Amino acid sequence: MAYDALRQSLIDLFKETAEAHHTAFAATDGADPDWPMWYGEHLRDPISKVLGVDFTRSDLVFCLMTADLEHTARESGEPWQASYADHFIERFATSESPQSDTLALYMTPTCPFCRLVLNALEDLDVDIELRDIYADRDHRDALIAARGRGTVPVLRITSGDEDRWMPESRDIIRYLQETYGQKEAA
């Protein structure tokens, strides 16, 4: 599915879920401190189908909470549904043409989560540029400009003129294995 269509599908799915949640919690005017659990249960099957990822409810709850934190931290003024869609695309969307993508890993040599990604990269034959944000201030500045913070690891996937910034070591490893790991089986 093309990026714009995928993004709109996710936005629509989040809007429908918000409406269903508000209806379910009408007596409290939508107030629900445990909203991520309700959303996780409601979204699990449809979002799994849209993204082609088999989510557990706990993984989905974690992603929703992280999306909410990212949205709040960025203070972009963008509707939360669009921000959440971007969050899920960054972490779970497949690349349309991985063979022509350019990859760069923003990292530090002492970060244990970066080490996890680097260890996974040793098992894959993937051309990737390592960008140490401590050794090169320009790399750190680029990361902060794109993500609003300098936490690593972050995989930058450039497809044509589009950049996608994927944080979280576990998501990066999953993406690399699913996208480039087939080379081992061939």
| CA 17, chain centre distance (Å) | 20
CATH class of 98-185: alpha beta
CB 100 within 8 A of CB 159: yes
Residue 52 has what DSSP assignment? T
Q: Is 85 helix (H, G, I), strand (E, B) or coil?
A: helix
Output the pTM of the full model. Answer: 0.75
The span from the CA of 103 to the CA of 127, in Å, is 7
In this model, does residue 30 exceed pLDDT 80?
no
> Residues 91-113: pLDDT tens digits?
888 877 788 899 999 999 999 99
H or E segment at 21?
Answer: helix 3-24
Task: Parse the chain into domains and list their residue ranges.
Answer: 3-92, 98-185
pLDDT in tens, 101-144: 999 999 999 999 999 999 999 989 887 999 999 999 999 999 99
